[in-house]
Structure 1
Amino acid sequence: MERERFGSRLGFILVSAGCAIGLGNVWRFPYITGEYGGAAFVVLYLIFLVIFALPVLVMEFAAGRASQRSIARSYDELEPEGRKWHRFKWVGLAGNYLLMMFYTVVAGWMLAFMVKSAMGEFNGASTEHVASVFGQLLADPVQMTIYMLIIVAIGVITTRAGLKNGVERVTKVMMVALFVVLVALCVRAVTLPGAEEGLEFYLMPDFGKLFAGNTPAEQWATFGDAVYAALGQAFFTVSVGMGSMAIFGSYIGKDRRLTGEAVRVGVLDTLVALMAGLVIFPSCFAFGVEPASGPSLVFITLPIVFNAMPLGQLWGT
């Protein structure tokens, strides 16, 4: 059987970027940035993204293109006879399964909030009410399991439809929708009363925040934590380190430069993350939400921003 191909080059770029763009950009990047002091952490993250994450992305693309396989078979295809490199594929496969467990749960939270927004639960709500709704969701394992299973079902249906008619078609629509919503949110967030302080927090680096503490030991411990978090975010945001991007490398033609493809994916991915920050931090300071709120930051902030927009319930849904 002939191997299925993408319908267009744009489809490949959007699907590849769509694999990288997701919870790491819109959910994790803002709350990690808020925990480690804002703009200074963003600078650290961008340095690690260029120095470490993009070269690994190129390598994963290279393994996929050379083997025409995913990580499940690429090591077997490429390793010299008698070597044991294929054993490393089990680490990558385990990592992908663990990531899927994590992603489906958090995506379920997102779906739950979409339903609650459509039902008008956040209309005119305060930050305290939204935080309470999020807390009630986390305290209800049955509700979380139902939404998680719905997310899994959506994923299965999409992938069973095939590369071109399933994954590519859905991703094109959702990526365009993502950018439209982010642009609308950015415009509204930066024009909120009190947004200037949030923009300063996000865009004006204060490297002293990376060394917070009363003693040199505490200061260096804080810096070490920030470095670890920035490095982890750089890898997480472009979905490298587990071989998941190798499958997209297997669809890159020999006439394309792997570095160029990796840079395009990295630029789109970073653009979404930076736009998410432009939405969250001005809104935090405008509505009195603590930037270091942790994983709940986006869930508390976004419904309030949507409330401040015309047709906010529709945008939120």
Structure 2
Amino acid sequence: MKERETFGSRLGFILVSAGCAVGLGNVWKFPYMTGKYGGAAFILIYLVFLVLLGLPILVSEFAVGRSSRLSTARAFHKLEPEGSNFHKYSYMGMIGNYMLMMFYTMVAGWMMYYCYVMATGKLSGASSDEVSGFFSNLMTSTGTMTGWMIVAVLLSFGVCSLGLQNGIERITKVMMICLLALIVVLAVHSVTLDGAMEGVKFYLVPNLDNIREAGLGNVIFGALSQAFFTLSIGIGAMEIFGSYMGKECTLAGESINILILDTFVALMAGLIIIPACFAFNVEPGAGPGLVFITLPNVFNQMAGGRLWGALFFLFMSFAALSTVIAVFENILSFAMDLWGWKRNKAVLFNIVLLIILSMPAILGFGPWSGVQILGEGTNIMDLEDFIISNNILPLGSVIFVIFCASKNGWGWDNFIREANTGKGMKFPTCIRNYMLWVIPIVVAIIYLKGYYDMFQPKGNTYLIPWMIVGIAMLILVGWIVFGHSKKNKK
């Protein structure tokens, strides 16, 4: 068997893994939620949940990867005891990676397109209505979105084709260092604008009135949900990088470094967006409208706005592409682990497949806009995002944690031995019951509340059947965790 590739340096592993964790949701959701839910008070609650919930799941993924030296496609097969059902999750994990890329490649294309638009001055001097209309036109321009999606796919697979050390590690290190430099420059510029300090206070100063208005329960749940979803855990996107790790360092210490980088980017993104919005009396709303409509209007009012706008969308492009490259590497590893394909063969096959799979999300804004499975006003991208974010990510996280903590799975002793191999912070050995019971229950609550929040406003027509789907998915996880197979194909 060919020897497993490994990272060339510890820094490479940390930056590549952080690049996978740093996603676009950090940039356009975290700042809004922080301001809405009480500023620094929300951040403190978020950080507590990040350590209590995100860290054990992240360490679990890394441990499975480093011990098995395989991707999610085969890792459970190798580590599980005879008769276990955990290997059935490999199919869900593979589907999750493909599903995520079916719309993420399109959004990465949006970022690169807007970087080009801002750099060439196509929105310079445009009115608010013209900026809004420009984004609306993009959403219905199937050709433009397809072209930039293909650029994102080719660039990212081009990096992956060069291999782990020569391609992914070397290029992602440069990209992440540039991203961190850009975000600091942009944040410093934003907070020094006239009137920006009101935005800084809104963002970072604890605001009990906002907490009371939103409700303490909603604030806690918002912080809990954001902490859970920020790390790209649950589909094996992190597990693959564990399989490329050496044994020199403990997994808890490396995971803490990734948590710190991910949180730093989220916090700094808020220091870019919210003070700038306050400086120009613009409401810092959430979602794509904030990035593609609100901020271009802000840059148009700013001295040197064309440059700052281009730099901002370059930063956003790096954030998007670092995630795409990381998940593409996981996708390539499936073919290499399952069928023994060489890297270049897997790259060529998946370039074609991902371009085809990315088309429904693009067509969902145009010719297929009538497909509204989740209810009126939704689209195909919403459906794909719901399947991955509200289902596979949380359920996959539960499976990884129980696999590591349960005797039905890999087992606690095996997990702790792997997690604590090397120098650095040791993972606590006394929290097995917390991982086995508390984390799955908390994630199940997040999962079911996500269904309720999604469909309750639409009424019982949507709520009841979709809640049945959600409960059925939980039963499926129970079967994977507690069921038994007569024969495992190892």
Name the TM-score, length of structure 1 as normaliser. 0.88
Deviation at 1:229, TM superposition (A): 4.0
Structure label with greater radius of gyration:
2
User: Which runs of 5 or more residues in structure 2 are unaligned?
Assistant: 315-490
AA partner of residue 30 (structure 1): P
- What is the count of residue pairs matched by the alignment? 309
The answer to whether 1:131 aligns with 2:132 is yes
| TM-superposed deviation, 1:126 | 5.1
Range that drifts further, 117-126 or 256-265: 117-126
Task: Give the match for residue 165 of structure 2.
Answer: 164
Deviations 1:36-56 (A, max 9, x none): 554444333222211101111
Contact 2:115/2:310 (8 A) holds in 1: no
CA distance in 1, matches of 2:295, 2:85: 48
1:269 is the counterpart of 2:262: yes
What is the rounded CA distance, in whole Å, between the counterparts of 1:151 and 1:228 in structure 2?
Answer: 34
Match of 1:230 among 223, 235, 254: 223
Percent identity among equivalent residues? 53
Question: Which position in structure 1 is the counterpart of 2:186?
Answer: 185
Cα drift, residue 298 of structure 1? 2.4
- Would the alpha carbon gap of residues 70 and 183 (structure 1) be closer, same or farther in structure 2, given more than 3 Å must change? same
Q: Which residue identity does 1:247 align to in structure 2?
A: I
After the TM superposition, list the runs of 4 or more consecutive aligned residues in structure 1 that deviate by more than 6 angstroms. none
Describe how 1:134-149 pairs up with structure 2 within 5 A: 134-149=135-150
Q: Distance in 1 between matches of 2:238 and 2:227?
A: 15
Match of 2:53 in 1: 52
| 3-state SS in 2 of match to 1:212 | helix
Q: How far, CA to CA, are the matches of 1:62 and 1:261 in structure 2?
A: 11
Equivalent residue letter for 1:57: L
Tell me the CA shift for residue 296 of structure 1: 1.8
Q: Cα distance, 1:122 vs. partner?
A: 3.0
2:272 counterpart residue number: 279
The answer as to whether partners of 2:39 and 2:204 remain within 8 angstroms in 1 is: yes
In structure 2, relative to structure 1, the CA distance for the partners of 1:99 and 1:229 (3 Å cut) is farther
2: CA distance, partners of 1:90 / 1:210 = 41
Q: Is the 8 A contact 1:20 1:239 kept in 2?
A: yes
Q: Is the partner of 2:48 in helix, strand or coil? A: helix
Partners of 1:34 and 1:292 within 8 A in 2: no
Distance 1:126 1:43 in 2: 39
**Structure-to-structure mapping, 1:294-313, within 5 angstroms:** 294-303=287-296, 304-305=298-299, 307-309=302-304, 311-312=307-308
SS in structure 1 at match of 2:29:
helix
Q: Measure the CA separation in 2 of the matches of 1:34 and 1:132.
A: 27
Matched with 1:252 is 245
Partner of 1:253, secondary structure, is: coil
Instruction: Please give the TM-score of this superposition, normalised by the length of structure 2.
Output: 0.58
Per the alignment, in what secondary structure is the counterpart of residue 246 of structure 2? coil
* 1:32/1:265 CA distance change after superposition, 3 Å: same
Match of 1:195 in 2: 196
- Paired with 2:97 and 2:72, the residues of 1 have a C-alpha distance of 10
Where structure 1 has 5 or more consecutive residues not aligned to the other structure, the ranges are 214-218
d(CA) in 1 for partners of 2:62 and 2:303? 42
Equivalence for 2:26: 25
Q: Are the structure 2 counterparts of residues 71 and 253 from structure 1 closer, same or farther at C-alpha, using a change threshold of 3 Å?
A: same
Check 1:92–1:230 CA distance in 2 against 1; reply closer, same or farther (3 A cut).
farther
Contact 1:39/1:201, CA 8 A, preserved across alignment: no
From the superposition, tell whether residues 196 and 185 of structure 1 become closer, same or farther in structure 2 (CA, over 3 Å): same
The question of 1:114 aligning with 2:115 is answered: yes
Conservation of the 8 A alpha-carbon contact between 2:7 and 2:245 = no
1:78: Cα distance to partner? Answer: 0.7
SS of residue paired to 1:54: helix
Partner of 1:152: 153
